[in-house]
Amino acid sequence: LAATFGLPPHYNCGKGGANELKAGKVLIKNAEVLTMQPQADMLSDCSVAVADGKILAVGPPPAGFNPDEVIDGRNHLVMPGFFNAHCHAAMVLLRGSAEDLPIDRWFNEGIWRSESALNEEDVYWGTALAVCEMIRGGTVAFADHYFWMRQVARVVEESGMKALLAWCTFGAEGTAEMGNVSLDEILAFTTEYRDRADGRIKTMCGPHSPYVTTRKWLRKIAGFARQSGLGCHIHVAETSDQVRQSLASEGATPVAYLAETGVFDNPSIAAHAIHISKEDVDILKKKGVSVVSCPKTHMKLAMSTTRVSDLVDAGINVAIGTDGAASSNNLDMLEAMRLASLLSKHDRQDAASLPAWQVLRLATTGGANAMGFVNSGSLHPGADADLILIDLDKPHLTPRHSYTANIVHSAVAADISHVFVDGRMLLNKGCLITLDEERIKHEAQRRGVRMVASPTGTIQRY
């Protein structure tokens, strides 16, 4: 595999890779089970049986079921894993490097300068670090929007995670794409890699946003996406300035403009979608676009936020994302859910807004739908065995009046004890199975320092 990508053979973040992991027969016994089916149904003192990567039973296993592994689920909650529906995984390398800056200075003086020192190997190790963090936080799949996506695909294959990969393209007239790759090469990736890794990899086209790309470029990408049956994953209407700019230059809001260029012709992902009109909501609904809210970035960069409850009420599929750690500082879906719920209550001055069970749905079934993993996101026989165990035997999770409230408003990533993807165990009692975490942290530390300290980067240490 390394040779394919022109990298030295020692270049491997894994401990042997997910290919060597067998999806065995597993029986989890005596657990509390949150199925998320149809809403947030709880089953007490319940078993979950897994075989061939699928859930065989929620409840007593079929007669004659002979598991390879039995997990004592007492004091544990089993639920679907989280879907991080918008992130830039390798940006963990810039974690904490551009703090307390308004969004324009954050982009121009911080992120885009440091990213000019980014190389292909950095993306590999940065993504590996991100995946360590995400697995530890109970995330089973992530929607990545970044560069050199073949490296991200390698980490997905080696780690055993699921991912929706979109290779970010700027399409600014007269400017080369990151890494000097051509649009044709970027588009070829999307069809070459779709359904790789036994279907754990899905792809979309990844135009960065309507405000950096040209109409011609968007049309070209949209045409390719339409022909290939792919969607697009794109940043939309993050600031009111972007909307003003779009109205002035295109005579339409960003959402209407993207619909007109064909970007939303197949089920797509609109990240943020903060400053949108009633007509925009109708377009998103009609086009089947999923909207992803990233509440921590919204708060940290002093933006407004996605009106999640309104979109849910309008029948739009909404999911939750962490965004990149350069703005959100971590890839923690428990925290992202908590902030989404709190921000919705605060923003609407309504304590009933976005209750725990609903935000859990957005982070599980909502994300699975947005990312095209339609057989995942809830626990029922026949579903993909993408599930997590949460250790409930903690002071901050006691007593257990409401499991959903405890998860969304009290739990922390360190409470996640086990993670399974397609029935394969990726985290066992808090230990990562597929990834060499020590090596990955070492590589990420030195690469992150190099990027931020590069002549074009900024240094901030306080």
Q: Which is nearer to Zn ion, 144 or 323 (CB)?
A: 323
Copy the structure tokens of residue 6. Answer: 């022109």
Q: Please, what is the minimum distance in Å from the beta carbon of residue 238 to Zn ion?
A: 8
Which H/E stretch holds residue 83? strand 82-87
DSSP H helices, 87-169, are 103-105, 112-115, 120-136, 149-159
Distance set, CA 244 to CA 135, 235, 327, 461 (Å):
39, 16, 24, 36
Q: Which stretch binds Zn ion (CB under 5 A): 98-106, 322-330, 363-371, 378-386?
A: 322-330
CA dist., res. 96 & res. 100, Å (int)? 10
Copy the structure tokens of residue 331.
């890839």
Residue nearer to Zn ion on the CB measure, 323 or 386: 323
Candidate segments 35-43, 321-329, 397-405, 433-441, binder of Zn ion by CB under 5 A? 321-329
- Segment near Zn ion (CB under 5 A); pick from 180-188, 318-326, 362-370, 408-416: 318-326
Nearest CA to 203 out of 267, 283, 273 is that of 267
The residues that bridge with 201 in the sheet, in sequence order, are 163
Q: Which of 382, 310, 417, 394 is nearest to 81 (CA)?
A: 417
Count the helices and strands in the chain (H runs, E runs): 18, 17
Give the integer Cα–Cα distance in Å for 92 and 102.
Answer: 19
- By CB under 5 A, the count of residues binding Zn ion is 1
DSSP state of 62: P
Q: How far apart are the first and last CA of the chain?
A: 41
Question: Quick check: helix, strand or coil at residue 450?
Answer: helix
Stretch that binds Zn ion, among 242-250, 319-327, 364-372, 423-431 (CB under 5 A): 319-327
Distance, CA of 124 to CA of 148 (rounded, Å): 9
CB of 221 to Zn ion, least distance (A): 17
Secondary structure letter of residue 211 according to DSSP = T
Residue 157 vs 323, nearer CB to Zn ion: 323
DSSP 330-392: ---HHHHHHHHHHHHHHHHT-TTSS-HHHHHHIIIIIHHHHHT-TT-SS--TTSB--EEEEE-
Candidate ranges 54-62, 154-162, 170-178, 320-328; the one touching Zn ion (CB under 5 A): 320-328
Closest separation between CB of residue 209 and Zn ion, Å? 9
Q: Smallest distance, Å, CB 74 to Zn ion? A: 40
**81, two tokens:** 């894993």
Distance of closest approach, residue 271 Cβ to Zn ion, in angstroms: 5
Q: How far is the CB of 330 from Zn ion (least distance, A)?
A: 15
Looking at the Cβ atoms of 323 and 335, the one nearer to Zn ion is 323
Q: Identify whether the C-beta of residue 433 lies closer than 8 Å to the C-beta of residue 425.
A: yes
> In the complex, what is the shortest distance from the CB of residue 198 to Zn ion, in angstroms, rounded to a whole number?
28
In the bound state with Zn ion, the residue whose beta carbon lies nearer, of 272 and 424, is 272
Nearer to Zn ion (CB atom), residue 335 or residue 422: 335
Q: Residue 255 or 419: which CB sits closer to Zn ion?
A: 255
Minimum distance from CB of 240 to Zn ion (Å)?
A: 18
Q: Which amino acid is at 219?
A: R
**The pairing of beta strand 54-58 with beta strand 82-87:** unpaired
Q: In this chain, which residue has its C-beta nearest to Zn ion? A: 323
The minimum distance between CB 322 and Zn ion, in angstroms, equals 9
Footprint (CB under 5 A) of Zn ion, residues 238-277: none
Return the number of the residue (323 or 415) whose C-beta is nearest Zn ion: 323
- 24: Cβ contacts below 8 Å, ≥ 6 apart: 67, 68, 69, 423
User: Of 196-235, which residues contact Zn ion (CB under 5 A)?
Assistant: none
Please tell me the distance from the alpha carbon of residue 59 to that of residue 45, in angstroms, as a whole number.
Answer: 9
Nearest-approach distance from CB 193 to Zn ion, in angstroms? 20
Residue ranges binding Zn ion (CB under 5 A): 323
